[in-house]
Amino acid sequence: MSEIIVAYWSGTGNTAAMADYVGQGIEESGKKARVVSISDITPDSLKDASVFALGCPSMGAEQLEEGEMEPFVEAVKAFAAGKTIGLFGSYGWGDGEWMRIWEADMKAAGARVVGGEDAICNEAPDEEAVEACKELGRDLARA
Ligand SMILES: Cc1cc2nc3c(=O)[nH]c(=O)nc-3n(C[C@H](O)[C@H](O)[C@H](O)COP(=O)(O)O)c2cc1C
């Protein structure tokens, strides 16, 4: 059975925790998940996948993390057309603007974004966010 990759960047662990819950949701639905930091894979490893998830917190000023994640996502955008992608991440003092921008960006690249901006949370995931992450995983497994 092919695995669904859940690739994330996380500075202080909140988005990493979310990634684990997305992975749990995938596995609850009978599919295999591979939860991995983007430092440990290349964008090319997503090229042949029709479904995957990307996670990143709000950094900079409502931006993706610039050093690693932004170049990673730029590379993914080149082959994102027709892919089904789940986006998730944590934020702090903002209102989730970075995720609205990110979702619009991936849609503009031709991706189908599953779950929209549902899987975002303020700092560490609370019960509601845990459920939203698992739901995203379940949706990806069904896609
Ligand atoms: C350099 C830096 C920039 C940030 N910029 C924003 C921001 O623009 N908007 C926001 O809501 N939170 C911002 N945050 C807060 C983080 O998104 C928040 O702490 C998040 O939970 C970090 O997730 P992580 O533990 O996965 O790294 C920023 C944090 C840092 C360290």
Burial class (CB in 10 A: 0-12, 13-18, 19+), 49: middle
Phi, psi of 129 (to 5 degrees): -70, -35
In 12-103, the DSSP E strands lie at 32-37, 51-55, 84-91
- How many Å lie between the centroid of ligand 1 and the Cα of residue 58? 5
Ligand 1 site-directed mutation target among 10, 12, 59, 99, most atoms within 8 Å of CB = 59
| Model confidence at 26: pLDDT above 80 | yes
pLDDT at 142: 94
Q: What is the mean pLDDT of residues 28-55?
A: 97
- How many Å lie between the centroid of ligand 1 and the Cα of residue 57? 6
CB 4 within 8 Å of CB 17: no
Coil, helix or strand for 64? coil
Share of residues in the chain with pLDDT > 90 (%): 96
Distance CA 30, CA 51 (A): 15
| Model confidence at 57: pLDDT above 80 | yes
CATH number of the domain bearing residue 40: 3.40.50.360
- How many Å lie between the centroid of ligand 1 and the Cα of residue 88? 13
Coil, helix or strand for 140? helix
Share of residues in the chain with pLDDT > 70 (%): 99
Classify strands 51-55 and 120-122 as parallel, antiparallel or unpaired: unpaired
Q: What is the pLDDT of residues 59-80, one digit of tens each?
A: 999 999 999 999 999 999 999 9
Q: What is the mean pLDDT of residues 20-30?
A: 97
Q: What domain range includes position 79?
A: 3-142
Q: Is the dihedral of CA 76, 139, 118, 93 positive or negative?
A: negative
pLDDT at 116: 81
